[in-house]
A and B are shown apart, each in its own frame.
Chain A
Amino acid sequence: AQSVSQHNHHVILSEAASLELGCNYSYGGTVNLFWYVQYPGQHLQLLLKYFSGDPLVKGIKGFEAEFIKSKFSFNLRKPSVQWSDTAEYFCAVNACSTGTASKLTFGTGTRLQVTL
């Protein structure tokens, strides 16, 4: 079974600082990878996803993530965070099996707090 590890539980940054949140997964086969975000009081929503092709994926609001297969990693980055990026970020993996429905396994999440 697949699993996901997020190394940072709580990150505090000042506005304009650069962000990198770590995510590692364990699964030997083909995977789809996701980052979801949960803003305060809102539902989980997709930030970006990787299925295949270019390992550098760009998402909404200036976020990007890089899939490094050899390291089983899918770290999330943003060059300059804003106060509105304060949220909880979840990495998730879907182990691909032909013909079966998606089943996401989530990490424990990283709470990002951006200060003014």
Chain B
Amino acid sequence: EAGVAQSPRYKIIEKRQSVAFWCNPISGHATLYWYQQILGQGPKLLIQFQNNGVVDDSQLPKDRFSAERLKGVDSTLKIQPAKLEDSAVYLCASSLDRGGDGELFFGEGSRLTVL
């Protein structure tokens, strides 16, 4: 079974520039998550999709971050404009999720460095 695919693996940008990350979840997984993992911290949920719809985006900095999941499959996370504190690994995860007891499967992450 193919895992969660993410790209790019690494990105270096200057502050105030924009960046986009792409995620392709495991086939058939209805729920997709974007987490932010800052060095030395645990992953923090940014946004959660159930099929096409947003379930939770309460911790997404909406003035600069946006995410979409078209057709209930792939998803993109965009940051515009980037700040120094956005340097982190952005993790995409998906779950089959029946009844809220599902295991999350993670991609390898996209490491962002903002200079």
Contacts and interface: CB of A to CB of B under 8 A. Distances in A.
A51 B102 CA distance: 10
Contacts of B50: 101
A105 interface: yes
Contacts of B55: 100-101, 103
A4 B43 CA distance: 12
A53 interface: no
A96 B42 contact: no
Interface residues of B, number: 30
A102 B4 CA distance: 17
A43 B102 CA distance: 18
Contact of A49 (B4, B44, B103): B103
Interface of A: 4, 6, 32, 34, 36, 42-46, 49, 51, 90, 92, 94, 96-109
18 contacts: A32-B100, A32-B101, A34-B103, A42-B108, A43-B3, A43-B4, A43-B106, A43-B107, A44-B43, A90-B43, A92-B42, A99-B99, A101-B30, A101-B50, A101-B55, A102-B100, A103-B48, A106-B42
